[in-house]
A and B are shown apart, each in its own frame.
Chain A
């Protein structure tokens, strides 16, 4: 039952929400700023890695369940494919951007040329970014947990 000192644990507790919020900012603004689902999901997984480093293995496995993360990763990939398939129900080809310029969710148009941008644009690209973000978040956290489980019980 080894873990880092109280200073490290307190700092990890303080930093974790900000890391997660920044990761979700990168995911949600993927169609406006540099970044996107992959990068934002990696940032959120970095927050999980911070907590994993700060706490002991037993405390981590009681907080982060591998089965939940597996379901999360599969859900992300299924959401991604489902967003692509959604247009086929309405008669569009596979992976057609069926929400762009439609006026509904994320359906605003943008003028040509440089402009400040609007969150409610880009059709299904934000849905894709969210799906990929969920998948990368779950997947990378799962990889870190599996790599950690290679250690002996008393080592971490």
Chain B
């Protein structure tokens, strides 16, 4: 019974998400001011040929700072989860 219920919930959720996707307009807006601004001024302001790196590390630098912090936090989480337990105590001998 519980299995059928979970399958039904999954199907309803999938149908709901697919219904939302059908209403999305991809490729719209086709024209954005920011794209042209980055392409026109990126090489002059940041002196970089790679516009993607210009956006990721300079125009959206705070976003990359957040990404680095997320990676740092993820590694700390893994280190907490996989530390060694020996009889209630844990040690970091390595």
Contacts and interface: CB of A to CB of B under 8 A. Distances in A.
Task: Indicate the size class of the contact surface on chain A.
Answer: 35 or more
B78 A143 contact: yes
Given A73-B72, A125-B53, A150-B82, A109 B47 contact: yes
B46 to A, nearest CB: 5
The interface centre, meaning the residue of B47, B50, B74, B75 with most chain A CB atoms within 10 A of its CB, is B47
B53 A77 contact: no
Contacts of B53: 30-31, 36, 122, 125, 129
Interface string A94-119: 01010011000001111111010100
B94 A132 contact: no
A51 interface: no
A125 B68 contact: no
A65 B94 CA distance: 7
A135 B72 contact: yes
A115 B49 contact: yes
A80 B65 contact: yes
Interface of B: 43-50, 52-54, 56-58, 61-62, 64-65, 67-69, 71-72, 74-75, 78-79, 81-82, 84, 92, 94
21 contacts: A30-B53, A32-B49, A34-B50, A36-B57, A66-B92, A97-B45, A109-B44, A111-B43, A112-B43, A115-B49, A121-B49, A122-B48, A125-B57, A129-B57, A132-B68, A135-B71, A139-B72, A139-B74, A143-B74, A143-B78, A149-B82
